[in-house]
């Protein structure tokens, strides 16, 4: 049992469903404080959804960049317990895998980061620059009182962040095969197209909003929003739900409600996307309203110091050449990137995240720790 694997088990054993940290950050803070980290707990949110955040920092005696490990201690709900082969909050080993909620997303990463820092500081107590840890218990939830609050507070204090690795599970088939150097933005809309309700036998006395919206829907689905770029695929627009009607088969509905989402790249902005949607709807003469929700803007770390150092650390440990990717959903990297010029994500394989019997290869926890330690050695010698 390695130190990283043992710590991963200790974290998995804490039932930290959002926003309950369940003592995970206190465990991490105790380990970091023993290394000379200054640890600060930052709480935010209403009493019925109190979020705990940890900001920890160790300044080396020599000048250098501020490098941050970031992640979340909260996990998604377990789902039906009867469907789990073993208790989700009892770390269990089977066939070389460590099972438990959060094993892959992302308690193994946090354990690997902490032990990597312990090994690095033991070998390099006079390291250059600063090592930071930013942990939240509100990543899997609404993400209103977590990382975004911490980075805004640090910015207000004038604390500089130069580079950051978020421990999200990024790999596909084998440890090290993929890292994220950016993420697409997410912009959602709820569209209400207004018609006139009436009897289905007298359409001349009504106005069917479903019929009115159908041509606009076809046009929106066919729009080329942009062509993407070297780092991002083209922006996509997808409908997630359409609802109309009263439930009766003889009533023309008075409105149709359409939920949709953009996953957009750096070639588009929220304002341009909103304007183009409005242009289509206006040209079709629709009576409508839209409520917009910006889930996050895209961010990108071009090839440079952090991408090269992380790629080299992965190759040195595994022999794998990591692919750069911006695919997938949003992450807390979107908040950090507003205050930190180089943000990347790297963690274990993601095939089982949020699933029943979530797991990680036990051997990968130690190898992940070694990659994180090698990264510190390259960035803060």
Catalytic pick among 9, 74, 119, 358: 74
Report residue 181 as tokens: 């150097």
Q: Are 348 and 171 in contact (CB under 8 A)?
A: yes
Q: Is residue 139 annotated as part of the catalytic site, yes or no?
A: yes
The bridge status of strand 163-166 relative to strand 342-345 is: parallel
Residue 22: phi and psi, rounded to 5, are 55, 30
Report residue 260 as tokens: 């949709």
Q: In what order do the strands lie in the sheet with 323-325?
A: 38-44, 51-59, 128-136, 62-72, 163-166, 342-345, 178-180, 323-325
Q: How far is Cα 169 from Cα 176, in angstroms, rounded to an integer?
A: 10
Q: Are 32 and 133 in contact (CB under 8 A)?
A: yes
Is residue 168 marked as binding?
A: yes
Name the helix (H) or strand (E) containing 155.
Answer: helix 147-157
Q: Are 320 and 368 in contact (CB under 8 A)?
A: no
207: CB partners within 8 A, 6+ apart? 195, 196, 198, 252
> What Å distances lie between residue 275 and 194, 233, 242, 291, CA to CA?
20, 21, 21, 13
Is residue 140 marked as binding?
A: yes
Residue 232: exposed, middle, or buried by beta-carbon count in 10 A (0-12, 13-18, 19+)? buried
Catalytic pick among 21, 139, 358, 377: 139
- CA of residue 205 relative to chain centroid, distance: 49
Is residue 72 marked as binding?
A: yes
Q: Is residue 74 annotated as part of the catalytic site, yes or no?
A: yes
Name 199's bridge partners.
Answer: 251
Q: Are 257 and 243 in contact (CB under 8 A)?
A: yes
Q: Residues marked as binding for Zn(2+)?
A: 72, 105, 140, 168, 354
Which residues are tagged catalytic? 74, 139
Q: Residues marked as binding?
A: 72, 105, 140, 168, 354
């Amino acid at each position: 049992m390695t130190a990283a694997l043992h710590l991963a088990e200790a974290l998995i054993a804490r039932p930290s469903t959002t926003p309950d940290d369940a003592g995970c950050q206190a465990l991490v803070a105790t380990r970091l404080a023993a290394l000379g980290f200054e640890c600060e707990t930052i709480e935010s949110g209403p009493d019925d959804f109190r979020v705990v955040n940890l900001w920890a920092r160790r300044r080396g005696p020599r000048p250098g960049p501020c490098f941050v490990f970031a992640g979340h201690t909260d996990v998604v709900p377990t789902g039906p317990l009867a469907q789990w082969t073993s208790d989700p909050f009892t770390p269990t080993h089977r066939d070389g895998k460590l099972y438990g909620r959060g094993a892959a997303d992302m308690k193994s990463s946090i354990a690997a980061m902490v032990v990597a820092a312990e090994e690095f500081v033991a070998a390099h107590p006079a390291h250059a620059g600063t090592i930071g840890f930013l942990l939240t218990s509100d990543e899997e939830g609404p993400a209103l009182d977590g990382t975004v609050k911490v980075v805004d507070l640090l910015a207000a204090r004038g604390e500089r962040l130069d580079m950051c690795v978020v421990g999200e599970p990024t790999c596909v088939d084998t440890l090290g095969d993929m890292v994220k150097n950016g993420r697409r933005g997410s912009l959602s809309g709820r569209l209400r197209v207004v018609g006139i309700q009436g009897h289905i036998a007298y359409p001349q006395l009504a106005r069917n909003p479903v019929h009115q919206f159908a041509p606009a829907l076809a046009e929106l689905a066919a729009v080329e929003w942009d062509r993407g770029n070297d780092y991002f695929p083209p922006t996509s627009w997808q409908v997630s739900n359409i609802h109309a009607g009263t439930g009766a088969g003889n009533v023309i509905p008075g409105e149709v409600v359409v939920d949709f989402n953009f996953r957009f790249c750096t070639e588009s902005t929220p304002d341009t996307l909103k304007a183009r949607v409005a242009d289509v709807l206006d040209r079709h003469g629709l009576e409508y309203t839209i409520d917009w929700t910006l889930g996050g803007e895209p961010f990108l770390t071009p090839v440079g110091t952090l991408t090269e150092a992380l790629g080299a650390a992965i190759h040195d440990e595994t022999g794998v050449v990591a692919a750069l990717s911006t695919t997938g959903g949003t992450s807390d990297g979107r908040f950090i990137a507003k205050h930190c010029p180089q943000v990347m994500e790297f963690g274990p394989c993601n095939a089982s995240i949020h699933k029943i019997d979530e797991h990680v290869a036990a051997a990968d926890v130690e190898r992940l720790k070694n990659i994180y330690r090698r990264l510190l050695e390259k960035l803060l010698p």
